[in-house]
Amino acid sequence: MGTGFAVVWGLALLVIAALAVVLALTLRRGTRATPSDGGEPDSFQPFEDRLLFQYEESVVRVSTDARVIVRIAGIAWEAGWRGDLLRLDVIEQAPHTVDFPSELGDLELLVVYDLAAFRMTEAGTDIAVERFMEPVDVILTTDRADRDLGIVTRPDSTWVLATSASAPASLRELEGAELPPGSGWAAVATTRLGRVCLVRLRGDEN
């Protein structure tokens, strides 16, 4: 009786050990199949933030990572919006999802954001803002003190490049007041938000 009991337990332990080996091999294969390169989608950690605006003559909001600065002037609001709170969603996207047309030249993509504005009404309904009455100013910043920066936007179906040389004067003043010393930046004024990309212009190298 004792011998039979030992045999049964021995077989059970062997089965458990075999299952443990199979499980370990399966997990190892799964780990190898998971992308580990920094450019792969699974390794991308997106940044998200929400900026809130009330109707005033001019309101500037900065994302918590200080990479996105948005100024909305009072003249950009339609009359029917002025009692609403305006929410601007900032969602970073993986750079590999963007493919610029060759007509834009040789660009190094630094960061990509999707910007979307919503009216938060008293009834609790969020209404998407498709277009502002006047341009909204958007600055994207980087630690790189580089002058050859620009912003590529796609408010509709066409990509458009705006260089820092075309930045509104108000944003040049904002640079010294809001941006850390040595920061690189580019700005764009647009009536339609959407995808905005900070890029470095490489066409004049060498």
Cα Rg, the chain, nearest whole Å: 26
Q: Which residue has the tokens 């750079």?
A: 95
Global confidence as pTM:
0.72
Tens-level pLDDT at each residue, the chain (206 residues): 556 556 555 656 565 665 665 555 555 544 433 343 444 555 778 889 999 999 998 898 999 888 899 999 999 999 999 989 999 999 999 988 888 888 888 889 999 999 999 999 887 788 999 999 999 989 898 887 777 888 999 877 788 888 755 555 555 555 444 566 677 888 888 999 999 999 988 765 54
- Buried b / exposed e across 1-18, counting CB within 10 Å, b at 16+? eeeeeeeeeeeeeeeeee
144 with 181: CB under 8 angstroms?
no
